[in-house]
Amino acid sequence: MYLGASILILAFSLCWLYGDASVYGHKKLRQFLTKRLVKAKALPDASNIASPKPHHAIYVLGGSQTCLKKKFQTAADLYKHRNGIRIFVLSVPGITQYDLVRGRNLTNDEWAIDRLVDLGVRKAEIEPVSLERGFWGTFAEAKGISALVNMRGYMGLILVTSPYHTMRTWLTFSRFLRPYDMELYIYPSNDDTNVRGLLLEYVKLVIYEHILIPVYFMMLRD
């Protein structure tokens, strides 16, 4: 029933968006979608420097450079309060802009590390992680990172991603972490998108929640 309702809501929203929707209508649609897409779960003492979490890891989900800069700021703020001793970032093949100091183009991983170092994170505590690529990026990240932090013996995982991406991220990671005795937290970065971006994310959320995640774990049981 919920899946059918979600599809109807999506169809109505698309018609509304691409039709003659008013500014007020767009505002209400944004509020409606944001309420369903945003999830946050903070550490109980996230602002308490006297209560570090040395056995927690921070993972910054992938994205464009513009989005990553904002995610890195959130991750660095958490790191400075010792809410995690290691920051994992998604390793991305390829190069980016030219660096005058090195005399060459930076790799994407070097760019990410430099940005975090600029924000006060020790280079030794930043680790790009290569994951198996898949069409469903967040799903692949959740599968790979969940296995990694469990193998490394971490007690908790702190996720950082864009606000509109938090609910889908939470549902996926929490399902993969279910077999492990591990705490999970999620923080939204200071990022935003337009109504079309929210609608696209809502489509992905419906697919993940009602098709991708249930089917994958059902197949594992067979």
The model's pLDDT over 171-187, given as tens digits with 9 standing for 90+, comes to 999 999 999 989 999 99
Highest mean pLDDT among 42-51, 80-89, 125-134, 162-171: 162-171
Residues 203 and 131 in one domain: no
State how far the alpha carbon of 115 is from the alpha carbons of 70, 78, 109, in Å: 10, 15, 10
Question: What is the C-alpha to C-alpha distance for residues 192 and 189, in angstroms, rounded to an integer?
Answer: 9
Q: Is residue 48 a contact partner of residue 148, using CB atoms and an 8 Å limit?
A: no
What is the reported pLDDT for 23?
A: 46
Range of the domain at 203: 1-37+194-222
Q: Is residue 125 a contact partner of residue 85, using CB atoms and an 8 Å limit?
A: yes
The model's pLDDT over 122-177, given as tens digits with 9 standing for 90+, comes to 999 999 999 988 889 999 999 999 999 999 999 999 999 999 999 999 999 999 99
Read off the pLDDT band of 84 (50, 70, 90): low
Residues 91 and 114 in one domain: yes
Residues 97 and 114 in one domain: yes
- Looking up residue 88, the CATH number of its domain turns out to be 3.40.50.620
Residues 17 and 64 in one domain: no
Residues 61 and 2 in one domain: no
First to last CA, the chain: 25
Q: What is the mean pLDDT of the chain?
A: 87
- In the chain, the number of structural domains is 2
Residues 93 and 52 in one domain: yes
Residues 205 and 173 in one domain: no
Residues 115 and 177 in one domain: yes
Residues 33 and 133 in one domain: no
> At which residue do the structure tokens 């971490």 appear?
154
Residues 121 and 212 in one domain: no
What is the reported pLDDT for 52?
A: 53
Residues 143 and 173 in one domain: yes
Read off the pLDDT band of 95 (50, 70, 90): confident
Mean of pLDDT values over 191-196: 88
The SS3 of residue 146 is helix
Residues 106 and 32 in one domain: no
Token readout for 19 is 């039709």
